[in-house]
Amino acid sequence: MTGSHFFLGHLETPIGHLSWVVDEEGRLRAAGFTDGHPRMERALRAYSVEPNVALASPSRTRGVTAAFERYFSGDLTALDSLPLFAPGSPFQQAVWSALREIPSGETRSYGELARRILNPKAVRAVGLANGANPIAIVVPCHRVIGADGSLTGYGGGLERKRWLLAHEGLSLFPAQIAM
C-alpha cells in the first residue's frame, strides 16, 4: 500500500455512526458501524496507521456519502453500483459476491449461500467469510439468517440487523423479533 491515499467518510444513521474508507480510485474498501463494533474500529485504525498511507479529507467520499444517505432514506438500490475493493481469498470473494446478489427484503441461510457458490458442505466456512466481510451493508451480510429462520450474529449487533432487514421491507416473524 506504499504511497496510497485513503479517504474516510462518516454518517450518523438511524442506527448509529457509520464510517467507511474509499481508495484513490473511488472504491469502497471498508464500511461499518464504529460505535460498539471493535472489528470495524480496528479496520479503520489499520488504514490510519499503515506506513506511507494518508487518511485524507472526507470530501473525496461524497459519492459514497450520498449513496448511504439515499439508502437510509429508503432508496434500497442506492448502494448497488458502488465500486468495491475488498481483498480476500477466492473463497471469501465468492461468498461476498453471492451476498451482493441477495435482493433487498430477502434473506438466505448459510447453507443456501454454500450451495450458491457450489460448495454445499462449506456452511461453516461461509459463516466465517460472512463474518469477515469488511464492507457492511453494501455487501449485505445482514441478509444471512440461520437455517431455521433465526437471526444469527451480526458484527454491528442483532438490533441493527433487525432494523436493516425491516428497513428493507422484510417482515420478521415474532420469534425473530424477540431474539
In tens, the pLDDT along 131-148 reads: 999 999 999 999 999 999
- Active site residue: 18, 136, 141, 151, which one? 141
Contact yes or no for 101/110 (Cβ under 8 A): no
CA 131/CA 166 separation, integer angstroms = 21
pTM: 0.86
At 65, which amino acid appears? T
Query: Is residue 144 annotated as part of the catalytic site, yes or no?
Result: no
Q: What is the mean pLDDT of residues 100-116?
A: 95
In tens, the pLDDT along 25-72 reads: 889 999 998 876 566 666 666 665 555 555 666 677 889 999 999 999
Which domains are assigned to the chain? 5-72 (3.30.160), 90-177 (1.10.10.10)
CB atoms inside a 10 Å sphere around CB 3: 8
